[in-house]
A and B are shown apart, each in its own frame.
Chain A
Amino acid sequence: MGNLEYKVLVGLEIHVQLCTQTKMFCGCALSFAEEPNSRVCPVCLGMPGSLPVMNKQAVEFAILAGMALNCQIAQFTKWDRKSYYYPDLPKNYQISQYDLPLAINGYIEIPTDNGIKKIRIIRAHLEEDAGKNLHTAGNFSLVDLNRAGTPLLEIVTEPDMNSAIEVRALAEELQRIVRYLGVSEADMQKGHMRFEPNVNLVITRAGQEFKTPIVEVKNLNSFKALENSINYEIGRQLDRFNETGEVMEMGNKSTRGWDDAKEVTVLQREKEEAHDYRYFPDPDLVPVETNEDWLIPIQERLCELPLKKRLRYVKEYGLSDYDAGVLTSERATADFFENAVKSGGEPKRVCNLLTQYFQKRANERGCNLTELGVKPQQVAALAKMLEKEEISATAAAAISDAVVLSEDLDPGKYAQEHNLLQKSDAGELEAIVEEVIKANPQAVEDFKAGGKKSGKAKGFLLGQVMQKTKGRANPKVAAEILDRKLA
């Protein structure tokens, strides 16, 4: 059998943990790695008689995310109970949203090699997370309910992604978006973002289309795993189709888990069980009505999204796509950059200072660029001095180091006090050039002779000028003088 023509279809079900102060329906703080069952109360433990109370901040975060994902925000939404028995689910029902989700019909734009692609979003709704079952040694399991009741935004996309790379691009874009909005820490390792791709292929053979059975992949806790698992599934589904010719039909969707060590997916559930979740409106909660008075202030919190920003940086500031990507990867960095530009720094120079000097310092300290204690105005001042050729690149590096150590430092004053300003004064430089010419007749001769030796000789002579000025001569001005004198 020759190579088959095929198209990959991937849709995502995404759970984003919102970084609210408290849980979805009670006053407990969100938990990270505390002692098991220490962040719990009667409500998230599902104690008899306890009642949920909606966390308004979670709803606002979800609305904000829904707006950023270009969704319609429901004017009327409600809470439903989704019933299933599992030990990590204290009430044996999860409070979720069934037929009237908070947000519908949106899209997310992702960068691809062929430009921007829109991936449609079917819905985004809020729900509470379950706890965790801990299977330690022994003939029993333990249940930790610290996570129970944590607010989750569930986002469901159409199967609009056609490669593993596109899936990864969406995941990374979504991570940037929710971080920009400040609604999630979106750390995949910590489970703040959980992706469950639904993968299948449309294979064309002898002019006929065949759809392979859909596979839902679970247990993905890095972007790499997400990408690799899809590539693995593509190969596996092709092989399987070649072997069995099995195609998609009712009830043959299966669930496979990603084994990170072996880099394979492993069958978890053969057939999609006919789950009856017995959804019905939660009588303990009142429906949510969103009106303009509530939505407009949320809308105002919406910011320019990372991809838009990145494209704008390329177009408006002439930055490279790579640099624009680095600067827009986090909102704080982008804000810092824009503030420095607003303070008069030339964008490209500000970009270079940030990506070259300050990013390195931040990396050394294991912190964010914006946590270095540097002010955008200081970076702008440095950029201005560079632009006016008042300082050399070496001097800029030295001043940057000083700026990192002191928030109040004025880069201009510092350069002056530490003799870091370049000598651009032609008169002063001319005397030095004159001295150098006199002291190096051989080099002057080589220079005048032209040819290969000439360039080398010029470099040598300029080096001598720099040495005499302790590196503070403006190399451009010095070269001009030299050229003129030896012409």
Chain B
Amino acid sequence: MNQLSAKELRDKIKAGEIKSVEATKAVFERIAKVEPTVGAYISIFEEQALAKAAQVDKRIAGGEKVGELAGLPVAVKDNMCTTFGTTTCASKILANFHAPYNATVVEKLLSSDAIIAGKTNLDEFAMGSSTENSGLKRTVNPWDIERVPGGSSGGSAAGLAAGLCFAALGSDTGGSIRLPASFCGVVGLKPTYGRVSRYGLVAYGSSLDQIGPVTQTVEDCALMMNVIAGYDPADSTSVDEKTAPLCDYLAKLDEPVKGLKIGIAPKFNAGADEQVRKAIDEAINTYRNLGAAIIEIDMPHFDYAIAAYYMVATAEASSNLSRYDGVHYGHRTRNPNDYIEVYTKSRAEGFGKEVKRRIMLGTYALSSGYYDAYYLKALKVRNLIRGDFVSVFEKCDCIMMPVSPTTAFKMGEKLDDPLKMYLSDIYTIAVNLAGIPGISIPCGFDDKNLPIGLQILAPAFGEENLLRIARMYEKQTDWHRKRPNLNG
């Protein structure tokens, strides 16, 4: 059963061939066996999951209509609010926080009859590229437990790769879905900004954050998108369906895109490790063999993406995280002398190093006298990057490049050098600044048997085409069927 994709399992559950309870039990058995090694979950909901699975089975047996994700065990990154369990953001400051409401995506999962098995680990407040910044838990890469799973949605990607769920949700602010998907050999999609509601996603960089699926296959990804995409009146930045019509992402998934034009930028790819570059070149060759045209593109402002990102994201973060003050909820220091100490000590005790670093960076960028030079300038760069993509997409349907310059690196390898860590996101960050969708799909392994991800980018709201393009490759290859060899 663990070899089934989410869509295959869902179909079998719906057909009554497999009981959701069996699938859910299998997931929890697997969790019991390998989770102590992997460390994907911050919390698991076995009892609740089995009860819901039994209920879905009963409804299926009774011939009742069930949702798109009927009986499917899934995982949710622990920065999405749930009324059950805690919503920690992997931070000590929210370690015991119980949200009073469900995020819109959680509501959508539940009403689609998904079984939420647990909530996954992440870099604290989604700030990081390795999940090593979690304040609560260590997650390893199932392909090599000495290595990081990537971040910040490391728990979702590692958990999925290890068979601890059938699909998961992550969030992506600068590559946080795509990077761990690439490091763990699974599929990860960052949708267009505004396509999926952010209501209930604990904010890091509000103008960059986007929730997306982490799945075994492109088909699973389309299935998940069918559930989570759409306008939400509770999120003013979600895009209404008149402006950008929704579609059934599964409907035309298997139709190849005719006359496909792929943009590549050899200049960028040159910066990646040789084995990564080779895998990307081979993937592009596969497309060429399918009849795609390859066009060389130039993105003059791409080099400034990381600098601009770390201004915009940290500025927003410094403001978004100011609410964690020990007054209203979350960690409060013991025996403060006055209310100022409630703030300073609660925050000093509750936040980890990287979060503090980003709060300080962002506070500085927004300070009077520096605003124009940093934040405003970053916004201008952001517009230029957006413009680069717009003009590139006049010439091609999609852009292909690596997700990351390297495969998964060793635990601790970059922990003391934040700048080096930030550079892991060099290929993913521009996508968030531009708000366009990007997907990471497995495209091979290096000589250490570590997965390599191919990143495909499409114009805003071009998810349907993007998934079809990714699916063309998936059908030609079986990288996505490879599983890490993990024995609890």
Q: Which residues from chain A sit less than 8 Å from chain B, CB to CB?
A: 42, 45-54, 81, 83, 85, 87, 90-93, 141, 143, 276, 278-280, 283-286
Contact B323 A90, beta carbon cutoff 8 Å = yes
Contact B81 A49, beta carbon cutoff 8 Å = yes
Give the chain A neighbours of B94 by CB distance below 8 A. 48
Give the chain B neighbours of A54 by CB distance below 8 A. 236
B33-41, B201-209, B251-259, B408-416: which lies at the interface: B201-209
Contact A278 B323, beta carbon cutoff 8 Å = no
Return B149 CB to nearest CB of chain A, in Å: 24
Contact A285 B236, beta carbon cutoff 8 Å = yes
Contact B367 A278, beta carbon cutoff 8 Å = yes
29 contacts between A and B (CB under 8 A): A47-B99, A47-B100, A48-B81, A48-B89, A48-B94, A48-B99, A49-B99, A49-B199, A49-B200, A49-B203, A50-B101, A51-B236, A53-B233, A81-B319, A83-B322, A83-B366, A85-B343, A92-B322, A93-B319, A276-B368, A278-B318, A278-B366, A278-B371, A280-B366, A280-B375, A284-B203, A284-B236, A285-B236, A285-B237
Cα distance A221–B94 in the bound complex, in angstroms: 40
Contact B367 A143, beta carbon cutoff 8 Å = no
Cα distance A92–B199 in the bound complex, in angstroms: 19
Cα distance A222–B196 in the bound complex, in angstroms: 49
Cα distance A377–B205 in the bound complex, in angstroms: 63
Give the chain B neighbours of A284 by CB distance below 8 A. 203, 206, 236-237
Give the chain A neighbours of B219 by CB distance below 8 A. none
Cα distance A468–B244 in the bound complex, in angstroms: 89
Contact A93 B315, beta carbon cutoff 8 Å = no
Cα distance A313–B316 in the bound complex, in angstroms: 55
Give the chain B neighbours of A278 by CB distance below 8 A. 318-319, 363, 366-368, 371
Contact A93 B322, beta carbon cutoff 8 Å = yes
Return A82 CB to nearest CB of chain B, in Å: 10
Cα distance A52–B201 in the bound complex, in angstroms: 13
B220-228, B265-273, B325-333, B470-478: which lies at the interface: B325-333
Cα distance A280–B318 in the bound complex, in angstroms: 11
Cα distance A344–B455 in the bound complex, in angstroms: 81
Return B121 CB to nearest CB of chain A, in Å: 17
Contact B200 A283, beta carbon cutoff 8 Å = no
The reply to whether the CB of B358 lies closer than 8 angstroms to some CB of chain A is no
Give the chain B neighbours of A280 by CB distance below 8 A. 315, 319, 366, 371, 375
Query: What DSSP secondary structure best describes chain A's contact surface?
Result: loop
Return B244 CB to nearest CB of chain A, in Å: 15
Give the chain A neighbours of B318 by CB distance below 8 A. 278
Contact-size category for B? 35 or more
Q: Which residues from chain B sit less than 8 Å from chain A, CB to CB?
A: 79-81, 87, 89, 94, 97, 99-101, 103, 198-203, 205-207, 233-237, 315-316, 318-319, 322-325, 327-329, 339, 342-343, 363, 366-368, 371, 375
The residue of chain A having its C-beta at the shortest distance from the C-beta of B364 within the complex is A278
Give the chain A neighbours of B233 by CB distance below 8 A. 53
Given A51-B234, A53-B233, A143-B328, answer yes or no on A46-B323 (Cβ-Cβ < 8 Å). Answer: yes
Of A81, A87, A93, the residue contacting B327 (CB under 8 A) is: A87
Given A81-B319, A278-B368, answer yes or no on A48-B87 (Cβ-Cβ < 8 Å). Answer: yes
Give the chain A neighbours of B366 by CB distance below 8 A. 83, 278-280
Give the chain A neighbours of B328 by CB distance below 8 A. 45-46, 90, 143
Cα distance A45–B199 in the bound complex, in angstroms: 14
The residue of chain A having its C-beta at the shortest distance from the C-beta of B312 within the complex is A283
Of A42, A81, A85, A279, the residue contacting B325 (CB under 8 A) is: A85
Contact A53 B234, beta carbon cutoff 8 Å = yes
9 tightest Cβ-Cβ pairs between the two chains A and B:
A92-B322, A283-B206, A283-B207, A278-B366, A48-B202, A49-B200, A49-B202, A49-B81, A91-B323
Contact A143 B327, beta carbon cutoff 8 Å = yes
Contact A286 B237, beta carbon cutoff 8 Å = yes
Cα distance A286–B101 in the bound complex, in angstroms: 24
Cα distance A292–B22 in the bound complex, in angstroms: 61
Contact A48 B236, beta carbon cutoff 8 Å = no
Cα distance A447–B371 in the bound complex, in angstroms: 95
Contact A48 B234, beta carbon cutoff 8 Å = no
Among B205, B328, B366, chain A packs the most CB atoms within 10 A around the CB of: B328
Give the chain B neighbours of A87 by CB distance below 8 A. 325, 327, 339, 342
Give the chain B neighbours of A42 by CB distance below 8 A. 99-101
Given contacts A50-B199, A53-B235, A92-B325, 7 further A-B contacts (CB under 8 A): A46-B323, A47-B100, A49-B198, A51-B236, A85-B343, A141-B339, A286-B236
